[in-house]
């Protein structure tokens, strides 16, 4: 499965209508991406920025909002790597309410790799490309296993005459 970061809607995240102010979703995306590095690779995002001087400025961003979030809601942000280029990565995000497992928002962003000393675009370092590719493969494999298990269960139910209501 893809990496998931859990968060809680804080008072500072809501607007006068009592719901999450939409730019906060971009912040949630970024927080989840930072957690992704330590959760998946045991590599702190600050180390990538500070020690390796590698930056990921966003050059494109899209989001769709499907439901409201309110103060105190618990959410989960799933992080995927949708596309890996020579000098860019496309991140995918899905936000769900933990209490209901409903999709609240989805988005994707394109980031370009830059050397933070010169702010010049650069190719993704080989060691990080390998980590990203392994993560993509893991997600695809786990998704395939999950899909196959679901199909097997449906076939078994159909063969035994069990119908879901």
Q: What is the pLDDT of residue 155?
A: 56
| pLDDT (tens digit per residue) in 119-137 | 999 999 999 999 999 999 9
Question: Given a cut of 50, is residue 165 above it in pLDDT?
Answer: no
Other CB atoms within 10 Å distance of the CB of residue 4: 17
Plot region of 101 (φ>0 → left; ψ -120 to 50 → alpha; else → beta): left
* Predicted confidence band of residue 100 (pLDDT cuts 50, 70, 90): confident
Helix or strand or coil: residue 157? helix
Compute the average pLDDT of residues 27-46: 97
* Predicted confidence band of residue 163 (pLDDT cuts 50, 70, 90): low
Question: Given a cut of 90, is residue 48 above it in pLDDT?
Answer: yes
Cα–Cα distance measured from residue 27 to residue 37, given in angstroms and rounded to the nearest whole number? 16
Question: Given a cut of 70, is residue 154 above it in pLDDT?
Answer: no
Residue located via tokens 């912040």: 27
Q: For residue 165, give both structure tokens.
A: 């209501």
Question: Given a cut of 90, is residue 49 above it in pLDDT?
Answer: yes
Domain 3-124 has CATH 3.10.129.10: yes
Q: What is the pLDDT of residue 73?
A: 94
Question: Given a cut of 90, is residue 92 above it in pLDDT?
Answer: yes
Write the DSSP string, 92-115.
Answer: EEEEEETTT--EEEEEEEEEE-EE
Cα–Cα distance measured from residue 142 to residue 156, given in angstroms and rounded to the nearest whole number? 21
């Amino acid at each position: 499965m893809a990496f998931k970061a859990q968060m809680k809607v804080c008072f500072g995240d809501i607007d006068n209508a009592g719901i999450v102010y939409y730019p906060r979703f971009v912040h949630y995306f970024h927080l989840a991406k930072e957690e992704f590095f330590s959760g998946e690779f045991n590599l702190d995002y600050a180390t990538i920025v500070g020690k390796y001087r590698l930056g990921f400025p966003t050059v494109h961003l899209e989001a769709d909002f499907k439901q409201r979030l309110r103060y105190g809601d618990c959410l989960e942000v799933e992080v995927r790597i949708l596309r890996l280029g020579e000098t860019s990565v496309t991140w995918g995000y899905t936000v769900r309410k933990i209490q209901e497992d409903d999709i609240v928002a989805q988005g994707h962003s394109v980031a370009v790799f830059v050397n933070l000393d010169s702010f010049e675009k650069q190719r993704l370092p080989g060691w990080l490309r390998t980590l990203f590719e392994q993560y993509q493969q893991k997600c695809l494999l786990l998704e395939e296993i999950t899909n196959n298990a679901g199909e097997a269960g449906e076939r078994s139910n159909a063969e035994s005459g069990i119908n879901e209501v």
